[in-house]
Amino acid sequence: QKEVEQNSGPLSVPEGAIASLNCTYSDRGSQSFFWYRQYSGKSPELIMSIYSNGDKEDGRFTAQLNKASQYVSLLIRDSQPSDSATYLCAAGSYQLTFGKGTKLSVIP
């Protein structure tokens, strides 16, 4: 059974702080890793993808991948209230396995 584990939260951070979201995955054959953001009542939106070990930065977002530890993380710098959402981690190859999501609340 392929699994992706995330802390369900809620994770509360003050505006302007760094939010750190973590995820572990069970399938060592996974080649692709993604972070999606889902606002309440909306569908998920792809915000970051990462395929090799190390860091990948895109604006205020940094994804980190450690395949040896089967660990993926997402850092959000200068968190804004508009970042408040549920963040889904996904891992896999042809088919993705999604975590249940971490709810992030950014407090003004």
Does 32 sit near another protein (CB under 8 A)? yes
Which positions from 61 through 100 interact with another protein, judged by CB under 8 A?
A: 88, 90, 92-96, 98-100
Closest CA to 61 of 46, 47, 51, 71: 47
Nearer to another protein, 8 or 77 (CB): 8
* Nearest CB to another protein, comparing residues 18 and 46: 46
Minimum CB–partner distance for residue 96 and another protein (Å): 6
CB-side neighbour CA atoms (13 Å) of 22: 6
Helix (H), strand (E) counts: the chain: 0, 11
Shorter beta-carbon distance to another protein: residue 12 or 32: 32
Tokens for 54? Answer: 């190390």
